[in-house]
Each structure stands twice: as C-alpha cells, then as structure tokens.
C-alpha cells in the first residue's frame, strides 16, 4: 500500500514542513560525498546508545557531540529509498499538523518528537553500538498527532495489482492504527537491534507525538504565528481532489462538487479528481476556465451511470469556493 494523500485540506502553505524535507535532502546529498568516510560520519552524527552507556566509548566524544547526536541522527538516512519513504510520509501528514499548530510551534514539536523517539530507542538498547539514523521517529510523532487531530480523515492509497493501479480511501484511524500495531509486533519479534530498524523509536515517537500535541494545544499561539498565517495562506486548493458523486432516483447523471479558491476562479486552473463510484475508481483531469462563477456546473460527458439502453449519463460538478 502506497499512501498518496489525505483528504483534509490545509489553509496555509506548509513552509516549515517543506523546509524540513529540503534540509533532509541536502544532508543526504552531503552524506553521499563522504565516500570511504561515510561509516565514520554516521557513527559521529548518528545515535549510538553505547556512546552514552559505555565509558570507554563515551570518552572519545565531548558532551556537545553527545547532545548534538540526539538531534542530528534524525536528519541522516541509510539510502535513497529510506529518505524517499520518510519524506513522502512527512509530506502527506506534516502539513495538516503544521496547519493546526502554526509554523513556530510545529518546528519545536517536530524536533521534540525526534528527540523523544531517540531517547526511547536509547533507553531500550543501552549497550547497542549500532548507529540509529533517520527521521522515522520524528515522523511517527507527526503521525500520532494526525491520528488525534483527524481520525475520520481518509488516506487515498494506491494498491498496485500487477500493472493496474487501484486507488482506495482508507480511514486514517485504521491506516495509522494498523501501522502502530505493526511497530509493536515488529519490536516484539525482533531480537534487540539485530533487525537494523529502531522499532521502539517509532513507537516512542508516536506516543510522545500524542502527548506533545495535547500539551502544545494548551499553549496560546503567539502574535507572530498569526501574522505568518496571513502571509502563508493558500491561494489554491489541492490539485488532487476526491469527489463522491450522487445520483438521485433513476437519474443516469451523477452530481458532485469541486472546490476552488476565488483566486483560481479568476485565473483559471486544472484539477485531477478521483471519482469513486461502485467498484470503479477513475482519475480525470478537469479544466476550469478563468472567470468562472460560484455554483457554475461543469459537465463531464460519459462519466455518469449506464442506462438500460446502453448509454452513459454525464457527471456534473458544481463549483464551490473555499477561502
């Protein structure tokens, strides 16, 4: 299963989330320049529990280096697929959490989740001399926060069946709940750190993400946060939208809604819509001309129901404005 996107729109551009993704990519490129020194680089900047528990190893590092590794480990990755998987997950879930917390609180929240996940791994693997790297623990915290904020959201998921892409919407509480249970099972079945994956960092990150979210929501947002929200307010709705059409009575036509902003209505835009109907799910490109008015109906020919006479009705999309 490959998550494509969630169905909760955001009001602001996720500038912090995108910046975190950019920093991870830049640091990964820096890793790739290390050549034969890569293992040493990862040992210094990764999280190695034995550096904190074994005096003979700890003596090689300054207190500053020790503390820095608790943060730096979450910006390193073991390969391109490791980076891609983490950054894609962060891209899907991080924007909604940032939208709720605000930009400043979000960066603090992200770093705290990463540190808490690292400490969870450290405490449960005290004698391990294997470096732990990756943003998975911090991202698990983001997933935990999303689980609380948007449990009724749907995750548009790609399930490839041979060469046929099948898109299905999975409830967020099931998607994330199943992921969390899977981390527990993997942690129970793994033997210490021999699996190479810090399962307890994922679990710790998820749990602490929920706890930190509850605490952060109690804190009032600063005036600078509100000013930043005004600057980063979105002028466009998401390019990929899920439309759930209805068909009253025996009408062969289907009816749905497509959301755009007043800015898009003025300038014109195009959207990719996923239309689930029965067992059929299709992706359709919808062009919206400039100057369109709210409540205008767009007609997509041949996308309605099949009539008894063998003809297909049309799909009518009513344009609604969202700020």
Residue ranges matching CATH 2.60.260.20 in the chain: 240-321
Instruction: State the pLDDT confidence band at 157, using cuts at 50, 70 and 90.
Output: confident
Residue ranges matching CATH 1.20.1540.10 in the chain: 2-231
Examine the pLDDT at 239 and tell me if it is beyond 80.
yes
Q: Which distant-in-sequence residues (6+ apart) come within 8 Å of 21 by Cβ?
A: 87, 90, 91
Q: At what angle do helices 38-45 and 63-72 cross, to 10 degrees?
A: 100
For residues 102 and 229, is the Cβ–Cβ distance under 8 A? yes
pLDDT of residue 75: 97
Q: How far apart are CA 281 and CA 164, in angstroms?
A: 12
pLDDT digits (tens, 9 = 90+) for 37-62: 999 999 999 999 999 999 999 999 99
pLDDT of residue 3: 86
Give the lowest-confidence range in 104-118, 172-186, 212-226, 252-266: 212-226
Instruction: State the pLDDT confidence band at 115, using cuts at 50, 70 and 90.
Output: very high
By percentage, how much of the chain surpasses pLDDT 70? 95
Q: What is the CATH number of domain 240-321?
A: 2.60.260.20
Instruction: State the pLDDT confidence band at 179, using cuts at 50, 70 and 90.
Output: very high
Examine the pLDDT at 280 and tell me if it is beyond 70.
no
pLDDT of residue 230: 79
Examine the pLDDT at 277 and tell me if it is beyond 70.
no
What is the pLDDT of the chain when averaged over all its residues? 89
Examine the pLDDT at 279 and tell me if it is beyond 60.
no
User: What mean pLDDT is predicted for residues 306-323?
Assistant: 85
pLDDT digits (tens, 9 = 90+) for 284-305: 899 999 999 999 999 999 888 8
pLDDT digits (tens, 9 = 90+) for 91-108: 999 999 999 999 999 999
Examine the pLDDT at 256 and tell me if it is beyond 70.
yes
CATH classification for the domain delimited by 2-231, as one of 3.20.20.100, 1.20.1540.10, 3.30.470.10, 1.20.58.410 = 1.20.1540.10
Residue 233: strand pairing partners: 12
Burial class (CB in 10 A: 0-12, 13-18, 19+), 235: exposed
Q: How far apart are CA 113 and CA 101, in angstroms?
A: 14
Instruction: State the pLDDT confidence band at 306, using cuts at 50, 70 and 90.
Output: confident
pLDDT of residue 278: 62
Q: How far apart are CA 8 and CA 155, in angstroms?
A: 9
In the numeric block, the tokens 């755009």 are attached to 260
Provide the edge-to-edge strand list for the sheet that holds 315-321: 254-260, 315-321, 297-300
pLDDT digits (tens, 9 = 90+) for 186-207: 877 765 554 457 888 999 999 9
Examine the pLDDT at 246 and tell me if it is beyond 80.
yes
pLDDT of residue 196: 56
**Two tokens at 271?**
């959207």
Examine the pLDDT at 172 and tell me if it is beyond 80.
yes
């Amino acid at each position: 299963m490959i998550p494509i996107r969630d169905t909760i729109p955001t009001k602001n551009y996720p500038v912090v989330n995108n910046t975190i993704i950019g920093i991870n990519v830049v640091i990964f490129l820096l890793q790739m320049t290390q050549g034969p020194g890569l293992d040493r680089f990862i040992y210094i900047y990764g999280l190695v529990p034995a550096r904190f528990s074994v005096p003979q190893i700890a003596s090689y590092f300054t207190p500053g280096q020790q503390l820095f590794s608790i943060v730096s480990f979450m910006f390193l990755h073991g390969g391109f697929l490791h980076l891609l998987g983490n950054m894609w997950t962060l891209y899907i879930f991080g924007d909604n959490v940032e939208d709720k917390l605000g930009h400043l609180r979000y960066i603090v929240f992200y770093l705290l989740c990463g540190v808490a996940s690292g400490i969870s791994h450290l405490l449960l693997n005290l004698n391990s001399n294997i470096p732990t790297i990756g943003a998975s623990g911090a991202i698990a915290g983001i997933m935990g926060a999303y689980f609380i904020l948007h449990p009724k959201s749907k995750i548009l998921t790609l399930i490839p069946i041979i060469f046929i892409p099948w898109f299905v919407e999975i409830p967020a509480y099931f998607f994330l709940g199943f992921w969390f249970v899977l981390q527990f099972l993997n942690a129970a079945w793994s033997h210490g750190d021999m699996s190479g994956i810090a399962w307890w960092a994922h679990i710790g990150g998820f749990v602490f993400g929920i706890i930190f979210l509850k605490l952060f929501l109690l804190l009032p947002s600063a005036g600078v946060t509100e000013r930043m929200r005004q600057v980063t307010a979105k002028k466009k709705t998401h390019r990929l939208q899920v439309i759930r059409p209805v068909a009253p009575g025996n009408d062969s036509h289907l009816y749905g809604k497509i959301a755009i902003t007043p800015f898009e209505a003025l300038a014109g835009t195009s959207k990719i819509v996923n239309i689930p109907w029965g067992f059929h799910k299709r992706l359709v490109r919808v062009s919206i001309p400039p100057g369109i008015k709210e409540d205008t109906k767009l007609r997509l020919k041949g996308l309605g129901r099949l009539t008894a006479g063998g003809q297909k009705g049309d799909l009518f999309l009513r344009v609604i404005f969202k700020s």
